[in-house]
Amino acid sequence: MPVDTTPLFRVTMAEDAAVRLAPVLVSGWIGQGPKVDEFEAALQPWTGGGEVVTVNSGTAALVLALRLIEARGKYVITTPMTCSATNIAILNAGAAPLWADVDPVTGLIDPLSVRHRLADYGDRVAAVIAVDWAGQPADYDALASETRGLGIPVISDAAHSFGATYNGRRVGEVADLTCFSFQAIKTLTTGDGGALTFGRDHQHLAKRARDLRWFGIDRTTDVLFRGEQDITEWGYKFHMNDIAATIGLANLPYVRGTLALQRHHAATYDIHLDAKFGRTVPAADANGAWWFYIVRLTDPAEREAFREHMLGQGIVTSQSHWRNDRLTIFAEQQRNDLPGMDEFGERMICLPTHAGANEWHVVSAANRFFG
């Protein structure tokens, strides 16, 4: 592997993060405190202006969301094309995943397949989880038209799509509940962290989410930690701390530039790679976050050779995640025919869009593969 290899993902950290962190470390307060409040307020314009409840990971946000809508003992319709965190959260919440198919071009959950699962499982379904794979928002309007009449909430796993918009609205205000990840390599990082936001009709859930992220204790009435408060509903140790929030506050001003660069790389790949691959997602005219870029090889048999070729050119590419319905941990779950997943999963490969990726190097390396 060449020394100056371009990784698929990279940490984007503000140069002044350490400077901003220093006073917090010696302030005498590093747990959940004023910096968490400040970070939540700073996130609001990015997520639609509503309530923001930060937590210590995207996975925690998903478990909390499922708890808020009482998913325990029920099914959650979900996509296999995601990081295992999405679907492990369903198990953690005491629910069972029910696989819906994905669009063979975008890899996003297919609303028609959701309709079929809803028809089969009806009131045993607690929620639908859509994942904004690569940072392209799922079709939330189509999902809402399948679920709203049934009173079934849509949860957006927006781990890849912080900063994206969907039909002019910000990811974070579109779905009933939205879960963000600020893990190490995400567009916005807090080291590790996450946030839960709420659609217009679900803002009232924020208070319970705040209590549940801290064992079920109302931190606003127990500020002095007198330890006299009864706990009426058990919660989790899911809250964010002031160290993570300070890192997030340092990085937030750079997100606009990071997103612009990710979108620019994606638009360049659109133009210069489209003819070489099977039809890809048109990145340029959508407001996705493009945390990474996806292409589809025309012949699935070429994927390994393409990956090796790109690595030889100093660029890491990969499928990033394996379809979750094939993981051993889900072997006991309902198996479904998923032709869209078969098609997408065999051909898809991810290219880097981060600030350290040289788009022309990626384009010319990919073009060399096709001779």
Count CB neighbours of 306 within 10 A.
18
Return the number of the residue (85 or 363) whose C-beta is nearest ligand PLP: 85
Q: Which residues ranging from 188 to 207 are in contact with ligand PLP (CB under 6 A)?
A: 194
Tokens found for residue 367: 């073009």
Q: Any contact of residue 178 with ligand PLP (CB under 6 A)?
A: no
| # of chain residues touching ligand PLP (CB under 6 A) | 14
Instruction: Give, in degrees to the nearest 5, the angle at Cα 200 between 72 and 179.
Output: 50
Return the number of the residue (166 or 366) whose C-beta is nearest ligand PLP: 166
The one-character DSSP state at 9 is -
Binding mask 331-370 for ligand PLP (x = CB under 6 A): ----------------------------------------
Rounded least distance, CB 244 to ligand PLP, Å: 11
The one-character DSSP state at 5 is P
Residue 75: exposure state from Cβ atoms within 10 A (0-12, 13-18, ≥19): buried
Residue 142: exposure state from Cβ atoms within 10 A (0-12, 13-18, ≥19): middle
Region of 52-60, 136-144, 236-244, 257-265 interacting with ligand PLP (CB under 6 A): 52-60
| Amino acid, res. 172 | G
Are 184 and 209 contacting, i.e. CB atoms less than 8 angstroms apart?
no
Distance CA 174, CA 153 (A): 12
Distance CA 33, CA 240 (A): 9
The pair phi, psi for residue 357, each rounded to 5°, is: -90, 135
Q: Which residues ranging from 120 to 139 are in contact with ligand PLP (CB under 6 A)?
A: 131
In the list 6, 32, 54, 57, the residue contacting ligand PLP (rule: CB under 6 A) is 57
Binding mask 81-110 for ligand PLP (x = CB under 6 A): -xx-xx------------------------
Q: Which residues ranging from 212 to 271 are in contact with ligand PLP (CB under 6 A)?
A: none
Q: Any contact of residue 280 with ligand PLP (CB under 6 A)?
A: no
Distance CA 78, CA 85 (A): 12
Return the number of the residue (54 or 313) whose C-beta is nearest ligand PLP: 54
The pair phi, psi for residue 296, each rounded to 5°, is: -120, 120
Return the number of the residue (292 or 306) whose C-beta is nearest ligand PLP: 292
Region of 57-65, 143-151, 195-203, 261-269 interacting with ligand PLP (CB under 6 A): 57-65
Rounded least distance, CB 62 to ligand PLP, Å: 6
> CA 160, 12, 188, 64 torsion: positive or negative?
positive
Residues that bind ligand PLP (CB under 6 A): 57-59, 82-83, 85-86, 131, 157, 159-160, 181, 183, 194
